Amino acid sequence: MNPLLGGPRTPFGIVRRVTLSQVFYEFKIAHTMDDIQQLVTTKATPTLFPDVKENLTRIQSLGKYNLSVLSNGDLPSLDRAVSGLGFPVHRAISAEQAGYYKPYAGVY
């Protein structure tokens, strides 16, 4: 069953590998499984637009809002991404924890 429609969750690492393989195949890009593995395991750190950190920090300072992150990624990827943001978040939730992917309502 499709996890976007409320079915069981597929580990994000598998989703990434399958998606990359499909994209490479579709565009006739020669690749090996090692190439896919290297792309999947590359440590990704988000790059924010210049005003994002400033504005989110300002919103946080109002004391009215909790900033949270909801990601379709797995826990290790989410932890790396959140730690790379450079400001604290109230809560970080992965689809791995929720058991569903966005935009399925159950993840919220």
**Where in the chain are the domains?**
3-107
Could you identify the residue written with the tokens 């909790």? 66
Amino acid 29: pLDDT:
96
Query: Which of the residues in the chain have pLDDT under 50?
Result: 1, 3-5
Type of residue at 23: V
pLDDT of residue 32: 95
pTM over 0.75: no
**Judging by DSSP bridges, how do beta strands 68-71 and 91-94 pair with one another?**
parallel
Distant-in-sequence, close-in-space partners of 107: CB < 8 Å, separation ≥ 6: 70, 93, 95, 98, 99, 100, 101
pLDDT of residue 43: 66
Cis? peptide before 50, omega within 30° of 0: no
pLDDT at 10: 77
Q: Between helices 33-41 and 12-26, what is the axis angle to 10°?
A: 130
How far is 78 from 94, CA to CA, in rounded Å?
7
